[in-house]
């Protein structure tokens, strides 16, 4: 049986995946960051600790075939914090995977690595990186690290650019970015089960009619999403949009306006 580790098991996505994978009998080791965990079922291994610490990484990855890496800072934060959690920590994880012969890492990348593309654009996987903050920049770097460790060390990676992983869409932006939880679980199971992936980037998104990203499926993994945010469109569009004009203009939504210099101010500062 494939041994699977899940980092970030105390986070929003991690909590969902931990429960869902445990219910399916996956041989799972769950790590909750600095939060101690209680096993959900007999046989689940649990641990916690700082993944910048190689000893903690060794406990997480010993005997593991596939790591689902959901740990790290998941919102926009000052650069030093992002560097420590999303760069230093991720490098420690990949080095641990190298030490322990981990076959594959599923890396939680993000739509915020491309968030400064306008909402009128339709993007393929080869689109330019346009991060909307330090968080998105860290995901851009993480995809590059995953590529490096495949090319130089043969560690497979699936970099999933997660959209909005929620039980249901609740605002107009989600009509394009929603990653339904049924589809998230299907995607994760395909990542565990696929015989060979090499280095792969995929959109973490459902089969949304208004998706900004294509393809929504991933044939290499055998992932074919079945959920569609359009089922909720009439209800969502009947309510006010919570995003301001700037957030509606760009794919990164509310992240774009954080520490943003308006064009008119840029011109005045350059004089």
CA 180 and chain centroid, separation: 13
Catalytic residue among 94, 135, 149, 223: 135
Residue 215: asked if its preceding bond is cis (omega within 30°), the reply is: yes
Cβ neighbours of residue 238 under 8 Å, at least 6 residues apart? none
Rounded to whole angstroms, what are the CA distances from 128 to 29, 57, 87, 218, 223?
35, 32, 21, 20, 24
Radius of gyration of the chain (CA): 19
Quick check: 212 and 251 in contact, CB under 8 A?
A: yes
* Overall residue count recorded for the chain in this entry: 271
Return d(Cα 34, Cα 201) in angstroms, integer: 29
Q: Which of 72, 100, 98, 68 is nearest to 87 (CA)?
A: 72
Q: Indicate if 135 belongs to the active site.
A: yes
Quick check: 161 and 204 in contact, CB under 8 A?
A: yes
CA 144 and chain centroid, separation: 14
Return d(Cα 9, Cα 101) in angstroms, integer: 22
| Residue tagged 């994760």 (tokens) | 188
Helix (H, G, I), strand (E, B) or coil at 131: coil
**Region for 222 from its dihedrals, namely left if φ exceeds 0, alpha if ψ lies in -120 to 50, beta otherwise:** left
Return d(Cα 99, Cα 112) in angstroms, integer: 31
Residues labelled as active-site residues: 135
């Amino acid at each position: 049986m494939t041994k699977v580790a899940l980092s970030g098991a105390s986070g929003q996505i991690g909590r969902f995946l931990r429960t869902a994978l445990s219910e399916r009998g996956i041989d799972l080791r769950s790590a909750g960051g600095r939060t101690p965990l209680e096993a959900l079922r007999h046989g689940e291994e649990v641990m916690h600790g700082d993944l910048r610490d190689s000893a903690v990484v060794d406990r997480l990855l010993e005997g593991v075939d596939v790591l689902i890496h959901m740990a790290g800072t998941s919102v926009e934060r000052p650069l030093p914090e992002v560097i420590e959690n999303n760069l230093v920590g991720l490098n420690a994880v990949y080095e641990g995977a190298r030490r322990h012969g981990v076959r594959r890492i599923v890396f939680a990348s993000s739509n915020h690595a491309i968030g400064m593309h306008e909402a009128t654009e339709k993007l393929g996987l080869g689109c330019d990186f346009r991060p909307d903050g330090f968080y998105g920049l860290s995901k851009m770097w993480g995809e590059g690290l995953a590529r490096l460790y495949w090319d130089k060390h043969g560690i497979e990676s699936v970099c999933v650019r997660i959209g909005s992983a929620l039980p249901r869409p609740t605002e107009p932006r989600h009509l394009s970015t929603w990653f339904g939880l049924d589809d998230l679980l299907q995607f994760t199971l395909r990542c565990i089960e696929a015989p060979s992936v090499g280095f792969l980037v995929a959109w973490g998104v459902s089969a949304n009619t208004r998706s900004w990203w294509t393809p929504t499926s991933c044939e290499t993994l055998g992932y074919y999403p079945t959920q569609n945010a359009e089922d909720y469109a009439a209800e969502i569009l009947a309510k006010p949009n919570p995003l301001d004009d700037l957030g509606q203009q760009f794919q990164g939504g509310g992240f774009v306006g954080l520490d943003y210099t308006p064009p008119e101010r840029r011109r005045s500062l350059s004089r």
